[in-house]
């Protein structure tokens, strides 16, 4: 067993309706030092996720009964499970489902057939990113009348809640944690959704436009740097 500090004692829930895939996942994850639970249906995955609260879920999209996208939606809308990272396991050619899953809050995706080495590397990246997020979750981000509560995924404008999508919130929190720093669109995509997210620079622009509208008079805090990308202003200059 190749147990590392990153994997030691961490618990992964593997969800797939194909037993051979589950065997492959369990074998390789055990080798890396992870503790593994298994589920073969969406209903079973939901039940185990709520009972065991794993550190990460590998979730197949094509499941009998409740499919993977619906499982992802339910877990990410539940305060008790929404912080569990989800890595989708998909067949090639399901690009539309991948985009939907990522918009629902999934952290990354892996296509079948997959390389076990790439799988474990991607899982470690997601887990490291989640750990970094946990370390800053309790810190409220404040800029004038705009307040972000990362632990609750809540945004307030002058004390009133603002409805943001999961992607919008992560994008805004990423920029707001680093006021004055300029980020390219590709850096913003990687930070807000992880590497290999199938999104274009135009999609980032669309999210920014939506955020500015929702933030109202604080929308100007997201500053466009022509030819480069975006930054969050260091102070509220209203």
Asked if residue 237 has pLDDT above 50, the reply is no
Collapsed DSSP state (helix, strand, coil) of residue 190: helix
> Could you tell me how far CA 174 lies from the centroid of its own chain?
12
In sequence order, which residues have a C-beta less than 8 Å from that of residue 71 and are 6 or more positions away? 15, 42, 45, 46, 59, 63
**Nearest of 74, 76, 72, 66 to residue 41 by alpha carbon:** 66
- How does the average pLDDT of the chain come out, rounded? 86
To the question of pTM greater than 0.85 for the whole model, the response is no
pLDDT 10s digits, 85-128: 999 998 866 678 888 888 888 888 888 888 999 999 999 999 98
| pLDDT value at residue 83 | 85
- Domain ranges for the chain: 11-135, 138-232
* CATH code for residues 11-135: 3.40.50.2300
72, containing H or E segment: helix 68-77
Rounded (10°) angle between helices 68-77 and 42-52? 30
Topology annotation, domain 138-232 = Arc Repressor Mutant, subunit A (1.10.10)
Which residues have C-beta within 8 Å of that of residue 144, sequence separation ≥ 6? 218, 221, 236, 238
- Strand intervals (E) in the chain: 11-15, 35-39, 56-60, 86-91, 108-112, 141-143, 146-149, 154-157, 160-162, 183-184, 222-225, 229-232
> Do 11-135 and 138-232 have matching folds?
no
pLDDT number for residue 98: 80
pLDDT at 14: 97
Higher-pLDDT residue of 98 and 215 is 215
Q: Output the six-digit token pair for 181.
A: 């720093």
């Amino acid at each position: 067993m190749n147990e590392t500090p990153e994997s030691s004692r961490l618990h992964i829930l593997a969800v797939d309706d194909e037993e051979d895939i589950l065997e492959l996942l369990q074998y390789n994850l055990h080798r890396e030092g992870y503790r593994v639970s298994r589920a073969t249906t969406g209903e079973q995955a939901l039940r185990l996720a709520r009972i065991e609260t794993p550190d990460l879920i590998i979730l197949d999209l094509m499941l009998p009964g409740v499919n993977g996208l619906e499982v992802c939606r339910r877990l990410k809308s539940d305060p008790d499970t929404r912080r569990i990272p989800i890595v989708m396991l998909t067949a090639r050619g399901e690009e539309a489902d991948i985009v939907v899953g990522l918009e629902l809050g999934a952290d990354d995706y892996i296509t079948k057939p997959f390389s076990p080495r790439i799988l474990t590397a991607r899982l470690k990246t997601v887990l490291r990113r989640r750990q970094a997020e946990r370390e800053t979750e309790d810190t409220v981000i404040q800029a004038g009348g705009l307040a972000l509560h990362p632990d609750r995924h809540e945004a307030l404008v002058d004390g009133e809640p603002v409805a943001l999508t999961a992607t919008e919130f992560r994008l805004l929190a990423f920029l707001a944690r680093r006021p004055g720093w300029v980020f390219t669109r590709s850096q913003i995509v990687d930070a807000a959704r992880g590497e290999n997210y199938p999104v274009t620079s135009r999609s980032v622009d669309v999210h920014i436009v939506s955020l500015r509208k929702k933030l109202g008079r604080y929308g100007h805090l997201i500053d466009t740097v022509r030819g480069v990308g975006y930054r969050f202003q260091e102070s509220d200059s209203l």
